[in-house]
Homo-oligomer: A and B are copies of this chain.
Amino acid sequence: MRSLYFKEKIKFTGEQLVPHWTYMNFDILGDSIIAFIGPCELEEKYLIGIDHLKKKTQIRSEMMLHFLVEHFELDLEKAVLRQQLLVSILKDKLNHRLKGDVFQRWGNDIYEEDFKLTVSTVTKTSVSTKIHLGINISSKNVPVKAKGLSDYGIDPDDIAEVVMNQYRLDMRRIKEKLARTRSIGS
């Protein structure tokens, strides 16, 4: 599994969820996690949750750190479990930087009390599953009660690197464990 922290701004609109987007833009072939910074403004056709689609939920943020994961495998439940893991990793790294138990995971979101820091989605394409996880850098003009990395003085570049490293490490460990596990009789 490869990773990349792309240093130029990209606006996340949802079109990044199409299959092979990472290959088409960065020549990274196969399972990958990439990170980049940019605004978030989800186009309606990329609203993945049907409840969001029905309510035409506005999903936007002035400036976010985005993680984008693609696994070439089609099991959506597995992708949802990986999304949970990615959110947990991000939450743990944030707490670690503040040396406290400041942030909580609720489902696939990160909160400090009732301040929301993240948006996240997971979907299935015809050849892969994809995860998006965005965390506010700025919390200005977010349509819900929100905070962002800059409110805590947390460096997005550092977070981007440690989260991607941890996710790749966990994925490698999981793969190895599959080859190390015995089944149990009747």
Contact = CB atoms under 8 A, between A and B. Distances in A.
A90 to B, nearest CB: 12
Nearest to A124: B183
Interface in A44-64: 46-51, 53-54
A146 interface: no
Interface string A158-186: 00000000000010011111111111111
- Prevailing SS type, chain A contact patch: mixed
A88 interface: yes
Contact of A125 (B78, B173, B186): B186
Contact of A182 (B50, B81, B88, B183): B50
A143 interface: no
A75 B127 CA distance: 10
Interface string A58-89: 00000000000000100111101110110010
